[in-house]
Structure 1
Amino acid sequence: MTTDGTKLGTPENITLKPTTGEIEFLCVDPSGKGSAEFPRMENGQVVVSIERVETAQEYLIVNAP
């Protein structure tokens, strides 16, 4: 979900940096309406930079671009 409480979707995949193995992006299946400001892949998934993600209990909080 985004910082304003809007459900963004469900994480479906992650992209790793090949040289370090660190998470670079989350690919999210958009099930909410707060995804317009994020880039999308050809399959419609929302791409979120891991730098925008924080953890909060059972949720991932995403800071909008």
Structure 2
Amino acid sequence: MVKRVCYNAEHAYMLILLKEVWYHYCEIDQGTVSALLAAESKGKFYNASIKDSGTDGKFSCRDKPVPELQ
């Protein structure tokens, strides 16, 4: 399920590739990303700790500016 994770700590911004679709999350802390990368099942961790928080929750980019990365 989780194909790739890209994280920019300076901007607390994560891109995650699930199957063939990229999703982005804003103001996501390093601890959460580290826990995702260390999880035995990244898919289960993502679903339980990030996905639900990202839709309209604390990691949603809906009401936060997406950083301009170069």
Do the two structures share a fold, i.e. TM-score over 0.5? no
The alignment's TM-score, normalised by the length of structure 1, stands at 0.29
Say which structure is richer in helix: 2
Higher relative contact order (CA 8 A, sep 6+): 1
The alignment's TM-score, normalised by the length of structure 2, stands at 0.28
